[in-house]
């Protein structure tokens, strides 16, 4: 691999990680807002949380797509032979798909809260908040340890 290609891959990786961190900051915080929203009795607080939830979700969504596009660019830069041989990456990509499903479900939850139709408890959202944490842990192990 040429030094030019290696240098480009490193830049792609740096921005991929940056956008992934920005995305996850929001994905970790949004369910905490859901917890507060599910547990509040105050309509004023609920109104404020509705705005915060919507703004946060729309703010972090581009980060999710930049993460994906840069990840795909890295795969393209390494090439098809590398992709086929990197079994760990196939699992990672499956988990990324799961994260996009989670992210999409957050849009449904924001809409549910906006329409005052939430029926789930704060406990549900506390558990819901752990899903991306666990997925991220596995993704990091796969990406850095490459156990397969």
List the pLDDT tens digit at each of the 148 positions of the chain: 566 667 799 999 999 999 999 999 999 999 999 999 999 999 999 999 999 999 999 999 999 999 999 999 999 999 999 999 999 999 999 999 999 999 999 999 999 999 999 999 999 999 999 999 999 999 999 999 998 7
pTM of the model: 0.92
pLDDT (0 to 100) of residue 1? 59
Ramachandran region, residue 108 (left: φ > 0; alpha: ψ -120 to 50; beta: rest):
alpha
Residue 104 CA to residue 141 CA, distance in Å, equals: 24
- Do residues 147 and 88 make contact, with C-beta atoms less than 8 angstroms apart? yes
pLDDT at 5: 62
What is d(CA 10, CA 7) in angstroms, rounded to the nearest whole number?
A: 5
**Residue 115, domain extent:** 3-145
What's the confidence (pLDDT) of residue 139? 96
The total number of structural domains in the chain stands at 1
């Amino acid at each position: 691999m040429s030094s030019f290609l290696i240098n480009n891959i490193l830049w792609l990786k740096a921005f991929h990680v940056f956008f992934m961190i920005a995305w996850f900051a929001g994905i970790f915080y949004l369910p905490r807002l859901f917890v507060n929203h599910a547990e509040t009795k105050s309509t004023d607080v609920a109104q404020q949380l509705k705005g915060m939830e919507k703004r946060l979700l729309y703010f972090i969504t581009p980060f999710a797509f930049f993460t994906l596009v840069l990840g795909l660019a890295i795969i393209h830069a390494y090439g098809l032979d590398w992709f086929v041989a990197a079994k760990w990456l196939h699992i990672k990509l499956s988990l990324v798909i799961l994260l996009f499903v989670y992210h999409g479900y957050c849009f449904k939850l924001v809409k549910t809260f906006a329409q005052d139709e939430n029926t789930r408890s704060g406990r549900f959202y506390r558990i819901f908040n752990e899903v991306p944490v666990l997925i991220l842990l596995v993704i990091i192990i796969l990406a850095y340890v490459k156990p397969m």
